Structure 1
Amino acid sequence: MEKYDIIIVGAGPGGLTAGIYAGRQGTKTLILDKNLAGGIGREVPEMENYPGFDLVSGLELAEKMKNQCVKNVELHENEGVNTIEKIEDNDYNFKVESDEHSYLTKTVIIATGSSHQQLNIPGEEEFKGRGVSYCATCDGMFFAGKDIAMVGGGNSALQEAVFLSNLGCNVTVIHRREEFRAEQYLQDKLKEKGIKTIMNATVEEIKGDMLVNSITIKDKESGELKDLEVNGVFISVGYKPHTKLAEELGVDLDKNNQIITDKNQKTNINYVYSAGDVCGGVKQWVVACGEGAIAATSAYKDIENS
């Protein structure tokens, strides 16, 4: 059974940064991810607020981070972790079971990220891949010249609305509140592009035949229902943290089902740390990177002092 100093579960921005720091500290480190490195960060169409870049896509940045990371650590993509078990051993504290192998490790960094939150409305599941999407970068090119609804009011929603508009889509942003939660520069871009908005409204149903052809919108003040003809619905209403492994291990979670950490990214279990969107706090790429750096540094210090 292969043995490691640090195993990082998840290769999103937090996990990759933890790997970069762990590798440069000289530890034997393995990163495992059930998908490709970068996580849902790969879907970000354009970032203008990541330090050092005037404009960079999530995919480009993820690939740069991956290439930097694998210089010093092992990265196994498409190898999901099934269990993390605490064991009693003088040198190794955890057994990690993946789809393919078993590993022993002194420390674990949980950076399992999150997935797209769903609306859970009629038609959403039925029309996935047939007009319903959660990724403008992945699917936007199929809707050039067509009418699109973007549901959401945060940074991701407005970033993707602008991206879709640049592709030639006729975009309408629908948000359940009276004001957007997104940063002001994104709101300004929405106005510059002339992108239509429907505020204080919810999407109640997605309709169609073989493909999406309309949605039903409810005005939250009047309760009035009306149909809007669209060819596609892009949904960006938040993220659901992936905490199953952490919960099974006994890691404490907050009321929003996010991992609780201290300022050193330590959890309530010795030698277990966490970073990125699976934790509470600001959901930003740069924040996940900072947390990953802290988690790897904390793990290294604890290994040295053990």
Structure 2
Amino acid sequence: MEKKQKVMILGTGPAGLTAAIYASRANLNPLVVEGNEPGGQLTLTTEVENFPGFPDGVMGPELMDNMRKQAEKFGATFVSGWVTDVDTSKRPFRVTVDESDVYEADALIISTGASAKLLGIENESDMMGRGVSTCATCDGFFYRQKPILVVGGGDSALEEATFLTKFASEVTIVHRRDTLRASKVMQDRAHANDKIRFVMNVTPLAVAMEDGKVAGLEVKDNASGETRVLPADGIFVAIGHNPNTAFLKGQLELDEVGYIKTVGSTSATSVDGVFACGDVMDSHYRQAITAAGSGCKAAMDVEKFLEGSATHDWSVSSGAKA
């Protein structure tokens, strides 16, 4: 495969694949690098009911497969592998895949996403999307009038628990410590909600199963050492996300958590010619549709950048390196 590209897109979630569709239609012939999980987090989801255009819902893997086929139809090419190094010190940029294959590109779109932190307990990964979830907005609807658990003690956990009370019969917040880490306003809101209760100072041990379905969460009481099962039909893990930016190694400006900083309402980053979209730069919304929209923006920004559009002075707007 030709090692010199106009545009390379790193990542194949909704953001990366939408960017690939738009960049392909602009005759940029992007090369898209698939990671170890082609399709991103949606490949771990069963039915997606909140993506526009699918009134009866669509399976996550099917949605991502269709996006990939659409990008290929317009001319995008794909290479499998893991990006192990990026050099943005000068153009063309250099991208190393699997520590050996080196590509060059005039512009980069980074859409490597963010990975939800998991508990690392028995049955958790096997039941992801089938009773265990990391996204209340995505999956809360499936638990109407059912008891569910939310594991975590920060603002995101309490926010998700509060949201889930719209659907569940009861929401139990499970936390390892005897005090919550969430802000006072979030704690007050949760304590005031009649549907929320708390189980504190317990350590999750395993997802409890019954007849192949989630039956609850096995926990150990940190004070007594005793174990018990907290019954529930669904378990939502809300202990944070890790943006997939470790491979950048200081190449771009990141926030304190590791998300890529972008300039204003654009997808431009701190380096002229490098753009970011999707969950790798969005710690707030983390939805398939918002990721797809940001992928569209990134592809359009790249097209204008490569054209040298006079209306987009990227180097000035981003304070970027040439």
The answer, yes or no, to whether TM exceeds 0.5 is yes
CA contact (8 A) 2:151 2:235 kept: no
| Residues 279, 224 of structure 1: alpha-carbon distance in 2 compared, 3 angstrom cutoff | farther
Deviation (angstroms), 1:83: 1.1
- Number of equivalences: 269
Match of 2:271 in 1: 269
Match of 2:219 in 1: 215
Paired with 2:85 and 2:134, the residues of 1 have a C-alpha distance of: 34
CA contact (8 A) 1:151 1:173 kept: no
Given residue 305 of structure 1, which amino acid in structure 2 is its aligned partner? Answer: G
CA contact (8 A) 1:118 1:235 kept: no
Match of 1:242 in 2: 244
| Residues 153, 102 of structure 1: alpha-carbon distance in 2 compared, 3 angstrom cutoff | closer
CA contact (8 A) 1:155 1:181 kept: no
Deviation (angstroms), 1:247: 3.8
CA contact (8 A) 1:87 1:93 kept: no
Deviation (angstroms), 1:103: 1.2
Match of 1:174 in 2: 150
Q: SS where residue 262 of structure 2 aligns?
A: coil
Paired with 2:109 and 2:135, the residues of 1 have a C-alpha distance of: 31
Q: SS where residue 268 of structure 1 aligns?
A: coil
Deviation (angstroms), 1:45: 2.6
Q: Percent identity?
A: 25
| Residues 27, 207 of structure 1: alpha-carbon distance in 2 compared, 3 angstrom cutoff | closer
Matches within 5 A, 1:295-306: 295-305=298-308
Deviation (angstroms), 1:172: 3.6
Paired with 1:75 and 1:224, the residues of 2 have a C-alpha distance of: 57
Match of 1:204 in 2: 202
Paired with 2:43 and 2:110, the residues of 1 have a C-alpha distance of: 19
Given residue 96 of structure 1, which amino acid in structure 2 is its aligned partner? Answer: V
Deviation digits for residues 11-67 of structure 1, max 9, x if unmatched?
111000000000000002100022243111212233332211222232221111111
Deviation digits for residues 232-287 of structure 1, max 9, x if unmatched?
995521321111133432x1111222111121200010000000111134111111
Question: Moved runs in structure 1, 4+ residues, more than 6 A?
Answer: 223-226, 230-233
- Mapped pair 1:229 → 2:208: no
Paired with 1:101 and 1:3, the residues of 2 have a C-alpha distance of: 12
Paired with 1:236 and 1:174, the residues of 2 have a C-alpha distance of: 6
Structure 2 gaps, min length 5: 174-196, 210-215, 310-322
Q: TM-score if structure 2 supplies the norm length? A: 0.70
CA contact (8 A) 2:23 2:30 kept: yes
Match of 1:20 in 2: 21
Deviation (angstroms), 1:153: 7.9
Match of 2:143 in 1: 162
Q: SS where residue 188 of structure 1 aligns?
A: coil
Match of 1:118 in 2: 118
Q: SS where residue 277 of structure 1 aligns?
A: helix
CA contact (8 A) 2:136 2:163 kept: no
Given residue 118 of structure 1, which amino acid in structure 2 is its aligned partner? Answer: L
Match of 2:168 in 1: 190
Q: TM-score if structure 1 supplies the norm length? A: 0.74
Structure 2 residue corresponding to 1:294, chosen from 292, 297, 321 = 297
Paired with 1:114 and 1:77, the residues of 2 have a C-alpha distance of: 20
- Mapped pair 1:83 → 2:85: yes
Deviation digits for residues 81-125 of structure 1, max 9, x if unmatched?
11111354xxx5211111252211100011111112134xxxx4x
Match of 1:98 in 2: 97
CA contact (8 A) 1:11 1:37 kept: yes
Paired with 2:29 and 2:59, the residues of 1 have a C-alpha distance of: 30
Match of 2:280 in 1: 278
RMSD across aligned positions (CA)? 3.6
Deviates more, 1:238-247 or 1:10-19: 238-247
CA contact (8 A) 2:7 2:30 kept: yes
Paired with 2:83 and 2:270, the residues of 1 have a C-alpha distance of: 21
Paired with 2:237 and 2:126, the residues of 1 have a C-alpha distance of: 6
| Residues 234, 39 of structure 1: alpha-carbon distance in 2 compared, 3 angstrom cutoff | same
CA contact (8 A) 1:203 1:215 kept: no
Match of 2:313 in 1: none
| Residues 153, 104 of structure 1: alpha-carbon distance in 2 compared, 3 angstrom cutoff | closer
Structure 1 gaps, min length 5: 141-147
Paired with 2:168 and 2:217, the residues of 1 have a C-alpha distance of: 24
CA contact (8 A) 2:24 2:71 kept: yes
Q: SS where residue 270 of structure 1 aligns?
A: coil
CA contact (8 A) 2:114 2:241 kept: yes
